[in-house]
Amino acid sequence: MLPEKIILSDSGDVVLVLQDERELTVSSHIPSRASTTFEALLGPHFSEGQQPRSSQQPLTVPLPDDDAEAMLDLCSIIHFKSPRDAQNSDGDRDIILRTFGLAVVADKYDAISAVQPSAICSLSRFSPATATIKLPISDLGNLVLIAFLLRLPRHFTAYTSCIVRDRVESYATLLDAPTAERLGAAALAPTKIVLSGAGDVILILQDQTEIVVSSCFLTHASTTFSALLGDQFAEGQQPRSIQNPTRISLPEDDPQSMIDLCSILHLKPLRAINSPGENRKSIVRILALAITTDKYDCIVAVELSVTALLSRYMLADETDNLDIALMSALALAAYYLRLPCHFTIFSSRLVRNYNGPYSKLLGEPFTERVGLATIFHLEQQRSTARNRCMSLLEGMGRTVCFFCTRGTRLLDFHWTATQGLFAREGGFHSIYVNSLKTTLERIASCDIIRCNLECNHAPNSASIGGEQLKRLVTDVKGFAYVLCSDCVDCTLDKCTHQDVLLRHIRENGGA
């Protein structure tokens, strides 16, 4: 059976014989421009380049050591042809292996610049988030090597950070993979973070990161570490020194939060924890730090640092655009860290800033830790605040018809006074379609509200002036519609800390 012939150039003067005996007809001008290796191979210093060649009598160059499909893809790309069967590579693994082969031959033949655009298109399918969630660590290692071979620093950083930050598998699983062969086993060695030059303890984290810490700092700040490194536990009974540190494995703790906690205890700065525009990552990281701090009972030692981290979110503008899950995460962090003022402010925003059902918090860490009853507590607080707002507004709009034998109430108040005030565009005209915060802002911005009587005896009306409306807003804000961190497990009517909660809100400018 004759080998398959693939013609990439009608004027081809070189035939590349691939590993599987297929013959690939190419133009010598194009590989020579795209690859310095081919330029040298087809130049006057090698026997292949010294032989005469033409489209009628092409030069034959065997390539027995190169992957056939990868070489075909490389030559197709530099001849501006679409790689064959590219549309059939549907699986993630197929695409990764094919791009990996292309990267290897591109690196070998120094044709990286020519294939970079095509490779970047293939890698666009694997965002760091997708790669972290879906791919096995071996495929993620191949992505790292692809980025390394093709000189793609942004992709290399993203994929290596996925391995370091989000994977719990041992890096030893990569030692037999091409990643280790090309980058070297040293590149896969556990990360070592030295927080104390006099460290006599090494904490081994979930991702195999090693933190060198001082037992003096840990035992002074944390009762848990004080017990663990005391004479009642095996870890504490072992002799330890700078030269022979005690190694303690912490496989159940979040690596980043443990690094953050130990950094604070060793008076080291935290890196990139409050980066602008990355609220979600920052809040998740703060919550993880709070959980770890609570577990190791060192809240007092970190109180000043975590208060500084949360101070940004005490400003109302910083939390206006947060979804309810992130807002509840802030409240939970304050709960873990025993910060009643912060818990009051964040829980008050859960009541005031959202109009959707609190059932969205089901399954979130907030309800799992504080309890499902908090959903009902939040709804009760919000309903109480809305009803009070409505009652005050209706009370201001009451009047009596001169012609009626009895007093007439503004029965059409919800349909007249609230139109344009509480309405959501295209929605039902009701105070309940907006958050309490939006409702109060709209009330405060009104100059006057006119309310007509329902009876037809005369065009009598009631007017509510702007000053009255501002007093109404102040009155509604004069009650603490929040959760109390001390009474969160109790029914609301048993909480006796209203004065304290109101003071927290007033000190923070009305929350």
CA distance 450 to 430: 17
Instruction: Among 3.40.50.970, 3.40.50.280, 3.30.710.10, 3.40.190.10, name the CATH number for the domain at 199-359.
Output: 3.30.710.10
Residue 225 near residue 219 (C-beta atoms within 8 A)? yes
CA distance 463 to 481: 28
Q: Are strands 461-465 and 14-17 parallel, antiparallel or unpaired?
A: unpaired
Task: Name 59's bridge partners.
Answer: 14
Extents of the domains making up the chain: 5-185, 199-359, 373-507
H or E stretch including 14?
strand 14-17
**Can you tell me which residue has the tokens 């009972």?**
297
Token pair belonging to 498: 């209203």
395 has pLDDT over 60: yes
22 has pLDDT over 60: yes
Name which residue leads in pLDDT, 211 or 490: 211
399 has pLDDT over 60: no
105 has pLDDT over 90: yes
Residue 329's pLDDT is what? 92
Helices (H), 15-152: 29-34, 36-41, 47-50, 68-78, 92-108, 112-123, 128-134, 137-149
177 has pLDDT over 90: no
Provide the mean pLDDT of the chain: 77
pTM: 0.60
CA distance 118 to 126: 14
Residue 428's pLDDT is what? 42
DSSP state letter for 42: T
| Highest averaged pLDDT of the listed ranges 5-14, 436-445, 497-506 | 5-14
SS (H, E, C) 208-228: CCEEEECHHHHHHHCHHHHHH
Read off the pLDDT of residues 408-437 as tens digits, 9 standing for 90 and up: 444 344 334 444 445 444 444 455 567 777
Residue 334: pLDDT band (50, 70, 90) is very high
Share of the chain above pLDDT 90, in %: 13
37 has pLDDT over 80: yes
DSSP state letter for 11: T
Residue 173's pLDDT is what? 53
CA distance 335 to 343: 6
Residue 115 near residue 74 (C-beta atoms within 8 A)? yes
* In CATH, 5-185 is 3.90.1150.10: no
Residues 6+ apart with CB under 8 A from 467: none
* Amino acid, single-letter form, for residue 185: A
CA distance 55 to 175: 47
Residue 42 near residue 28 (C-beta atoms within 8 A)? yes
Residue 287's pLDDT is what? 93
Read off the pLDDT of residues 252-281 as tens digits, 9 standing for 90 and up: 889 889 999 999 988 888 877 776 667 888
